[in-house]
Structure 1
């Protein structure tokens, strides 16, 4: 086994890999019967004692020789990534986004060939897969957009969905002028919500190859490029005073109620957040979902991909039981659509939470996998550049610059990012 190291760069999004099926379950069960105690790690601290308790009861009724214990973790990425330097990171866990594809075999049990699993599940080919094997199954599928309070936007006189960044900024300005709501909430202090902006790779260009093309450019932050469009919107909104006045004091859990009560107008989050926001709202019908303010040939697009992926700790003593839970969660729990997401199963239902997108004619973009042997290329460049596209520090830097806390201009930040990317690309690719 290779040395246990966790890559600094993140594997693809808010968003990527899948698996399961009867054949895979039989493979996993070859080591023994479906029995034993398993620990399941989750980031859902809000429903671990309610919804997940019901899942436990249903699963253990079907598998009476298995006992499931949940461990809910608030700083999931940070704590679990640290724990993975040991063998103690549960039996089933959400694969951290900071794990590079080439490192998946060191930490996770293979679930089966990608080609076979892709006959049943979405988000398999390009997400948490390596060398033809899948290592994780999506807990739900997300599309990318902006969750917002419809009533606040209407009170500000904004009745049309913005089709460009400038229109979006104008809308935020109207909200600031006409209401007491924070137009755009970044959730800076918790950090991880800022990584949701990265999920719009492919949304701007409507190109399934968008992520792979990062390995072919020296300047992702050049004007017109996807990262320029995404990060400029964040910078410009903060610089114009259209975000929370003190980003250091933001609070993720509190922000749900703030959006629902109309104290916050909008947040950039994956579609997984719609249900949570509706649950926290005084009137669930106030919560809407709009695409990123950008169109290609007059059409909105949204990147679609898997959320966190359930994987099996390669060190687990009860891999058959762990696989049984992983398969049951994907196939029978109903978690995906209950949480407003796309089912990981190809034959699964579509949630009503995406009705707004259907009305707008949003077209989904599912990112293409990298060529064999190049699965880690973008992540390797990102790690060499020490940018961390999926880490919060990168966009916290942008927020800090925009609010005048760092002394950097947008041009200085983007020029530095381009220079570091180009140098890293030369080191990794060699050309």
Structure 2
């Protein structure tokens, strides 16, 4: 939740001993036994007092003498980013999206090589640097729109829109024929707007889409992915197909709104499906749509890892921290229970994506960055001060679309292209 600048004062530190991959104590970092207490940071405030309690029991039963303490953080990105200016950011944590690839060795313990871990796990390239992996995905997601099938059907729309205009036409039909809000932005909480960034690669069906950003001088030019993504968001808001006042949206309440048919559609990773189903009048009402664009006559969806579990390089108990990460990936069943794509390659595909199968959606796993360019796109984004994974970037687009800012979409695109091109020229 699947979002790039860190606060000042982050000091480079030497990377500690390289971690191995096994579960046995002798194979753990620094050769320490699996025992003692660890603190695990999580963004799942909704699960920490129930589901995670069961995880704690199972892990501690497998490893007698261990104790797991959780810290659930609502503003995960903001708070953890600040804490990383110190050594105190838990033993196991989810790598914040603001950490660039070249910063990984400064803050996290390496878990193994890309080749070693890639034989068993998906998404290992996503938090890797110079051939070393620094985090294992807690789950994997496809990218698209979670929607209330009942509402869409009531509006007369029963097949996935193939173009942005078809999508807007469908939202208009929902507005005209139902009482539901066609598209809910979740503007106030901010982070849900970063979910729009996750569809890149799926819009074009190009596994190299993100890598190509590093050489692109105008990502917001007409016909390109960011132009298509941001134009759809702008037009939906500008055509009054979203909530009346985006400054009053509420994330937790939005689950009930879509579950009960008061909202029709939200841009969210597939991790959200289970949560929306849990809040639905009938879980069968909740489905999943691909981004309304086709390449080669087919829909595509980018798949990738969600947050990655990692070990704080300053942890005093790296052995137990590593054991937790391995157990979480292999035995917790978190990914499947949350409707996600399991990080373990041998696991079955989730039933929550049945709609994608029906629509013939092809899944695209984004290619890793070329050696030596792992941090290029992140560094360009940081230097350009755009923040592709920062809510403010798309809040600006929403504000312009609703008239709260006096700028046109083209003016925004021109500004973004100029800043990107200037930063790209310096970084190349």
TM-score, reference length from structure 1: 0.94
Deviation string 1:277-326 (CA, Å, 9 cap, x unpaired) is 00111111110111111111210000010000000000000000000000
Return 5+ residue gaps in structure 1 as ranges.
9-18
Q: Could you list the per-position Cα deviations for residues 183-238 of structure 1 after superposition, in whole angstroms to 9, with x for gaps in the alignment?
A: 00010000000000000110121111100000111100000000000000000000
**What is the SS of the residue equivalent to 1:68?**
strand
Partners of 1:252 and 1:245 lie apart in 2 by: 16
User: Which contiguous aligned blocks of 4+ residues in structure 1 show a shift greater than 2 angstroms?
Assistant: 5-8, 23-31
Q: CA deviation at 1:28?
A: 2.9
In the alignment, the residues of structure 2 paired with residue 182 and residue 311 of structure 1 have an alpha-carbon distance, to the nearest angstrom, of 39
- Other structure's SS at 1:418 match: helix
Q: Distance in 1 between matches of 2:48 and 2:94?
A: 14
List aligned pairs for 1:24-423, cutoff 5 A: 26-125=26-125, 127-423=126-422
The answer to whether the 8 Å contact 2:21/2:27 transfers is no
Please give the alpha-carbon distance, in whole angstroms, between the structure 1 residues aligned to 2:159 and 2:62.
49
* 8 Å CA contact retained: 2:7, 2:85: no
Task: Give deviations 1:160-187, integer Å, cap 9, x for gaps.
Answer: 2101100000000000011111100010
SS in 2 for 1:22: coil
Q: Give the CA deviation at 1:20.
A: 8.0
Quote the Cα distance in structure 2 between the aligned partners of 1:24 and 1:288.
41
Do the aligned partners of 1:7 and 1:98 also contact (CA within 8 Å) in 2?
no
Counterpart CA distance in 1 for 2:284 and 2:75 is 30
Q: CA RMSD in A?
A: 1.4
What displacement does 1:65 show? 1.0
Counterparts in 2 of 1:26 and 1:240: CA distance versus 1, 3 Å = farther
How many residues are paired up?
414
Q: CA deviation at 1:6?
A: 2.8
Classify the secondary structure of the residue corresponding to 1:177. Answer: helix
Whole-angstrom CA distance in 2 between matches of 1:93 and 1:101: 16
Give the 3-state SS of the residue equivalent to 1:216 in structure 2: coil
Provide TM-score, normalisation by structure 2: 0.95
Residue deviations 1:370-405 (CA, integer Å, cap 9, x gap) = 111100000111001000001111000000011110
Deviations 1:335-376 (A, max 9, x none): 001000111001112111011101111101111111111000
8 A Cα contact 2:20 2:28, kept in partner: no
Q: Distance in 2 between matches of 1:171 and 1:205?
A: 21
